[in-house]
């Protein structure tokens, strides 16, 4: 598909549901040891060395009614609070290892990173707020999930563009499957799959487009 057509589709869409795949920033694997402070620092350090999805989305979609679902562990989307659902959690939020509180802390607020920060209530170490942990604090994600479904229901009759960026088999349950189901069920919906390798969309979906591109190149094209 041609760049011009892709730009036109995005430009002409007022309602966009953006699905960001787990591998959008390439570091797919979840952290091995949630108690390892060096690993927490490494994951968060990785954020500053990749494409800034947070500001790219603000710039490209600022005049759209959009919502984002991201399965990436480390896609910082802090500018989109209220319009984002991160079902796997994210490395830049920290929680108490014992989950003694629902409270979360932003990694960025810990300026002195020489020692592992502790929970102010029970003195346990703070760990990444991601789904791999047994005591995953997910109260905030339930609120995000409600907003996600509310957005879909609100726009049920609108011409929604489902924009999938760099999804893989890891995202079948949370993004690819649900997006394909929505595109099959709703006649006004268009599915655009942008991916650096895997573009297959079931032929049962009528309004479908695919575009082979890395996320970096795609964001650059739309900027
Ligand atoms: Zn605690």
Class of the domain covering 3-222: alpha beta
First to last CA, the chain: 18
81 DSSP 8-state letter: T
Domain boundaries, the chain: 3-222
Distant-in-sequence, close-in-space partners of 123: CB < 8 Å, separation ≥ 6 = none
- pTM equals 0.90
C-alpha count within 13 angstroms, C-beta hemisphere, residue 13: 26
CA of 146 to the centre of ligand 1 (A): 26
Neighbours of ion ligand 1 (CB under 5 A): 96, 100, 119, 121-122, 124
Please tell me the predicted confidence (pLDDT) of residue 28.
57
Please tell me the predicted confidence (pLDDT) of residue 31.
64
Question: How would you write the pLDDT of the chain (223 residues) with one tens digit per residue?
Answer: 688 999 999 999 999 999 999 888 766 566 667 788 988 888 887 666 667 888 899 999 999 999 999 998 877 788 898 999 999 998 889 999 999 999 999 998 998 899 999 999 999 999 999 887 678 999 999 999 999 999 999 998 999 999 999 999 889 999 999 999 999 999 899 999 999 987 788 888 989 999 999 999 999 999 8
CA of 79 to the centre of ligand 1 (A): 27
């Amino acid at each position: 598909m041609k760049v011009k057509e892709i730009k036109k589709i995005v430009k002409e869409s007022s309602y966009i549901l953006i699905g960001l795949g787990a591998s959008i920033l390439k570091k797919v694997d979840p952290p091995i040891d949630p108690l390892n402070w060096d690993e927490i620092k490494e994951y968060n350090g990785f954020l500053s060395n990749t494409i800034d999805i947070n500001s790219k989305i603000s710039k490209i979609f600022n005049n759209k009614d959009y919502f984002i679902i991201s399965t990436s562990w480390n896609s910082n989307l802090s500018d989109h609070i209220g319009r984002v659902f991160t079902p796997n959690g994210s490395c830049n939020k920290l929680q108490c290892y014992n989950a003694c509180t629902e409270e979360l802390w932003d990694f960025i607020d810990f300026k002195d990173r020489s020692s592992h920060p502790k929970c102010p209530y029970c003195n346990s170490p703070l760990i990444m707020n991601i789904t791999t942990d047994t005591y995953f604090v997910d109260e905030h994600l339930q609120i995000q999930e409600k907003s996600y479904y509310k957005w879909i229901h609100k726009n049920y009759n609108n011409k929604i563009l489902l924009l999938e960026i760099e999804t893989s088999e890891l995202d079948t349950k949370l993004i690819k499957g649900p997006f394909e189901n929505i595109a099959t069920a709703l006649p006004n919906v268009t599915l655009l799959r942008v991916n650096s390798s895997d573009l297959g969309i079931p032929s049962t979906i009528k309004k479908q487009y695919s575009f082979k591109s890395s996320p970096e190149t795609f964001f650059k094209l739309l900027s």
